[in-house]
């Protein structure tokens, strides 16, 4: 089974949610950083929608994963790229899907190795629940509950679409 969620709709919700939050916190010039690979695509779009002028950053969390001791190193790691100074800045950290929260833990550890940001807002397109760490998105496009056998994946970058796969297929 492969169901389609409307990416546009989720982006709209994310955009609205973020705008509200930025306004509420009085943040005027945030930086946008996406987590590879899906998060980078979302960061690209959201950054433009929010009118962020600086280029978005890209994080590859391979060096920070907590499962190195079980699966080793990702053989296709690419360099992280933060083309700006993060010290004292407000950051919107973007990923496509949040579930256990482990990716976000790794991403935040990595972020702090670049400097001390003023704040981090977490934005994800989809929130699957099933958290294993005390981490939650500040803004999410949609909350979703899947069966144990189902997986969700953002495909892209052009066009972007969401695929829900059943493992038994």
Partner 1 sequence: MTANAASPNHLQLTRDGQLRHFLTLDGLGRELLTDILDTADSFIEVGERSIKKVPLLRGLTVVNLFFEASTRTRSTFELAAKRLSADVLNLDINTSATSKGESLSDTLLNLEAMASDMFVVRHAQSGAPHFIAESVTPGVAIINAGDGRHAHPTQAMLDMLTIRQHKGGFEGLKVAIVGDILHSRVARSQIRALNELGAEQVRVIAPGTLLPNDVESLGCTVEYDMAKGMKDVDVVIMLRLQKERMEGALLPSEREFYRLYGLSQEKLALAHPECIVMHPGPINRGVEIESAVADGPQSVILNQVTNGIAIRMAVMSMAMGGQVAERQQKLNEITERGQA
The sign of the dihedral angle between the CA atoms of 156, 90, 25, 99 is positive
CB nearer to partner 1: pick between 5 and 56? 56
Task: Tell me, rounded to whole angstroms, the distance of Cα 92 from its chain centroid.
Answer: 9
Q: Is residue 115 at the binding interface for partner 1, with CB under 8 A as the rule?
A: yes
Distance between CA atoms of residues 14 and 10, nearest Å: 6
Among 26, 51, 72, 159, which residue interacts with partner 1 (rule: CB under 8 A)?
72
Among 24, 28, 51, 70, which residue interacts with partner 1 (rule: CB under 8 A)?
70
Q: Is residue 84 at the binding interface for partner 1, with CB under 8 A as the rule?
A: no
- Strand, helix or coil for residue 119: strand
Q: Is residue 168 at the binding interface for partner 1, with CB under 8 A as the rule?
A: no
Pairing of strands 90-98, 119-127: parallel
Interacting residue ranges for partner 1, rule: CB under 8 A: 60, 62-64, 68-73, 75-81, 87, 109-110, 112-115
């Amino acid at each position: 089974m492969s169901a389609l969620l409307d990416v546009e709709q989720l982006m709209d919700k994310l955009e609205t949610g973020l705008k509200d939050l930025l306004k509420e916190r009085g943040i005027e010039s945030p930086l946008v950083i996406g987590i590879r690979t899906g998060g980078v695509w979302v960061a690209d779009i959201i950054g433009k929608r929010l009118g962020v002028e600086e280029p978005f950053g890209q994080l590859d969390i391979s060096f920070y994963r907590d499962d190195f001791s079980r699966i080793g190193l990702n053989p296709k790691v690419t360099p992280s790229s933060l083309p700006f100074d993060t010290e004292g800045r407000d950051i919107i950290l973007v990923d496509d899907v949040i579930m256990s929260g482990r990716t976000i833990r790794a991403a935040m550890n990595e972020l702090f190795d670049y400097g001390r940001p003023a704040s981090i807002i977490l934005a994800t397109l989809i929130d699957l629940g099933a958290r294993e760490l005390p981490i939650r998105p500040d803004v999410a496009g949609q909350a979703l509950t899947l069966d144990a056998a189902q997986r969700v994946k953002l495909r892209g970058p052009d066009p972007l679409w969401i695929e829900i796969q059943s493992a038994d297929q």
